[in-house]
Amino acid sequence: MYHINHLHRANDLWYNTTMSTATITRADGTSVSITLADPGPPNLEFEQPADRARLERVAAALTARGFQAQVADSAAAARALALAGIPEGAEVHIALSETMRELGITDEVDESGRYESVRTRLRALDRQTQGREMRKLGAAPDYMLGSAAAVTDAGEILVASGSGSQLGAYAYAAGRLILVVGHQKLVRDIDEGLRRLREYSLPREYARMQGLGHPGSALGKTLILHEERSGRTRVILVPETLGH
C-alpha cells in the first residue's frame, strides 16, 4: 500500500499531497497526480478466523509448493519461531507490516542491536543524494521479514504494496524470506484473495493512515507467490488475528 504523507520520498519518487490527492514528481522531473479514492468500509467477512484444521491443510498445501510452512501454537510462539531462524548479527530487513509491529519483531530487529538492521542503515542515508544506494540496500537483504495479505487454500501467497519496494526481495532477491500470517488471512482462491486486498486490507490501511493524520493509502502493486523451489521462503501460520 502507498503510505502517503504530506511530503515524502519513496525510492526515486517524491509525493506531495493535499487532502486525498498526491502529486508524484519522478526522477526525470515529470509529474502526475494521483487521487486517493476512499475505498469505503472494510468487508468484515474477511475478518473470519480459520480453525486449526484449515491452518494445517494450508500449511500442507504450502509445503507441497516448496515453501517451508508450519502452524505456530500462538502469536508469541510465532514470534519466537521467526526470530529463531535468524542468526545474531545477520543483515535483516523488515517490511512495513502491522503484523511485524504487533508481534514486536520490528522493534526487536531495528532496536535491539542483535541484528544488522537494514532500515536503521536506510534512515542514516540522505534520500536526496544517496537514493540509488538506498534502493540497492533495501532490495536484496540477507533476511527479509514480513507478512502477506492473503494465503489461498491451495497454498498461494498474495502480497499487496503501493510502491512495490519490498516485492523484489519477497519474490527473489532476499537470501531468506520469513512470513508470519494471521488466521483471518486465509481465502479460498486467488480471486477471493484479490477481493480481500481491495475490500479489506486497503480500507483498513487507508483508515489507519488517516488516523495518523495522512490523506490515506493506495494499492499499487500485487505479488502472487505460486511456488518456491529454492527453499528460501518460510511461512508461519498463526491461530490468532494479526495485521490486516
pLDDT in tens, 65-75: 999 999 999 99
Q: Which amino acid would we find at residue 244?
A: H
CATH number corresponding to 42-238: 3.40.50.10420
Partner residues linked to 224 by β-bridges: 158
Q: Judging by DSSP bridges, how do beta strands 216-218 and 2-4 pair with one another?
A: antiparallel
Q: How far separated are the first and last CA of the chain, in Å rounded? A: 12
pLDDT in tens, 13-33: 333 433 466 655 555 556 667
pLDDT in tens, 72-126: 999 999 999 999 999 999 999 998 899 999 999 999 999 999 999 999 998 898 8
* Cβ–Cβ under 8 Å, residues 168 and 134: no
Give the rounded distance of the alpha carbon of 238 from its chain centre: 16
What is the Cα–Cα distance from 197 to 35, expressed in whole angstroms? 19
Q: What is the pTM of this model?
A: 0.87
- Domain spans in the chain, listed from the N-terminal domain onward: 42-238
**Residue 116: all three cell numbers together:** 544488522
